[in-house]
Structures are given as structure tokens and as C-alpha cells.
Amino acid sequence: MLKKNKTLGEFIIENQSSFQYSSGELSKLINALRLAAKVVNHEVNKAGLVDILGDAGDTNIQGESQQKLDVLANEKFIQTLKNREIVCGIASEEEDDFITINSNDENHQNKYVVLIDPLDGSSNIDVNVSVGTIFSIYRRVTPVGTPVEMKDFLQKGSEQVAAGYIVYGTSTMLVYSTGDGVNGFTLNPALGTFYLSHPNMQFPEEGKIYSVNEGNYVHFLQGVKDYIKYCQKEEGDRPYTSRYIGSLVSDFHRNMIKGGIYMYPKSSIAENGKLRLLYECNPMAYLAEQANGIASDGFGRILDIEPTELHQRVPFFCGSRKMVEKLHEFMAKNA
């Protein structure tokens, strides 16, 4: 049983041996993400006081308007990871292509690549709603000491060695896994230190919350429509409660603690769904499975999908085991 009040630094050191590649590099990488999270947290918390709210006047590779905080968070995480010299490549949802690090240094031995969504749900910043950062870590597949290649990033989610998120809300939490369960750490702003507050996080087997943008209901596949009607039907422990924040990190975090299912299906207006496989779905699916949950595209396991491009989109359903299994029944009936 993990004890609370342990700092993130102490936790990393004490549990380093349980990680199959315990060379210390991954620990340094988690520490770098922790540092960048504290910087971004500071910026998010003063967003209403300085000119970092609103549209940055540019678009990202997906054609979406970038918020000022999108740009700032992207810069902070990339710069922190570069300065620590512990990764060989970075891919960000806000960048057109991956970033190669130390490609001209024949002596660099960095083995990890990081894929990151620097500020998930950033449009919510203007109305003071929780947002987050999502990260995913892989060991490179190309030879150490050479420049990274696309194949280092286009790995199946099952190959992740670590994943996590930071939620900037009423309190700031860093939640992550290295394949040995999911643990959550809350930032003490007075000390600038993350403390273990949520050891061994688990999805309840069953939940009573469904999270989906019901405004798009008419555009969903029939299987999704039927499942939503099932959630709304007054029978047994139903109807379920509808809760949708519009920030994946926040919706996922609530459902993992209370029990629920998150859905972003494909539709007639979003043929492949909206969420990105590499930056959002894979890391959240990794965490879901580590926390006794399920993550799928409605028919199969998210972590088994073979990526074909950096900014690939897929339908996404994840959450409490029995709720996702029931969704699968409705999807199969209408396949």
C-alpha cells in the first residue's frame, strides 16, 4: 500500500527499480515534465491578469485556431525537454512535424521520444474551466546515436513505456504510469512540490456518468445513438448522469475517480472522430488499461492500432469496464 504525502521526486526514486528500463533516464524525463508543468501551471493561473487569453491569430497543422496559451505551453514543454538533453525527439500536436534533438552529436545516447498535447481543452481557458497536458513516452526503435525517424513516433500505443497527464483545475495534479499502475500527485503551490495524493488510481468496474457532446447526436452512428438512449433510460440504476466538460483530461480524470465512460465517436461531420491517436488517445488508453478500464475505437483496442501519420484521428471510447463493454454490444449490433 502506497503512503500518501510522499513527494513525486521520492516516489520516482523509490520506484525506479520496478521500471523495466531502470537506467535513470526515464526518471529524469518525468522530472523534466514535472518542471514544465509547474511553469505552465503558473501561466494558466495568471491567465486573467496578463495578455495570454484568446486566439493567437494562427492555426495548427489540423487547421484549428491556436490559443495564446497553446503556443506558450508548447514552447515551455519543448524548451524544457530540450534543455534537459534527455530525449532524442519530440512530437507535438501543435507542430507540423517531429523535432529532432542532438542529431549532430554522434555521442548522444538518448533513447526516448515524447509525444505531447501541450494544452488540451485550451479554448476553455477564457471561461476559467479546467484544462490539461497529455504526454506519451516511447523508446526509440532506430539506432541510438542517429537522428530520429518517423518510425520512432509511429509506434502502436501498446509500445508506450510511460504516459500521463497534468490537469490544471481547482488543484493541479500530475497523473502518470510507467506500466505498474496509475498514481496521482497534487501540487502544493506554497512549496512548488507535487505530493502523492491519489495512490493506485482505478476506474470503478461500473459507473453512472456518460460524457459525450450530445449536440452532435444526430450525426453519430446508430450504435452510439442506441447506447446514449440506453444511458438515459429509467431502468435499474439508470438513467445515468450526463457530464461533459469538453476537456479530455478533465472528463477522463473525473470518470476515473467516480466511474463513467467518455465518448468521442466518428460522425457524419467528423469521419474519423476528432481526437488524435498519438497525442490523446494512446496515452489515455494506456492509463485506462493500467487503471482497470477499457479504451477502444468502438470495435477494437486503441493500443493495437497501427499509426500511419503523426496527426491521425480515431474514434475514442474509454472508461469503466462494464460501461465500455455494454457500448461494444450496441456497436456490434449496428455494425
Which residues carry a binding-site annotation for substrate? 120-123, 213, 244, 274
Determine whether 239 is exposed, middle or buried from the number of CB atoms within 10 Å of its CB (0-12, 13-18, 19+): middle
In three-state secondary structure terms, 238 is coil
Please give the Cα distance from 281 to 229 (Å, whole number).
25
Please give the Cα distance from 163 to 61 (Å, whole number).
23
Residues flagged as binding site for Mg(2+): 93, 117, 119-120, 280
Which among 326, 187, 173, 178 is positioned nearest to 254, based on CA atoms? 173
Which among 297, 306, 315, 312 is positioned nearest to 91, based on CA atoms? 312
The CA–CA distances, whole Å, from 295 to 47, 114, 225 equal: 33, 21, 19
In three-state secondary structure terms, 327 is helix
In three-state secondary structure terms, 218 is helix
* CA-only gyration radius of the chain, Å: 19
Residues flagged as binding site: 93, 117, 119-123, 213, 244, 274, 280
Please give the Cα distance from 32 to 52 (Å, whole number).
23
Asked if omega into 265 is within 30° of 0 (cis), the reply is: no
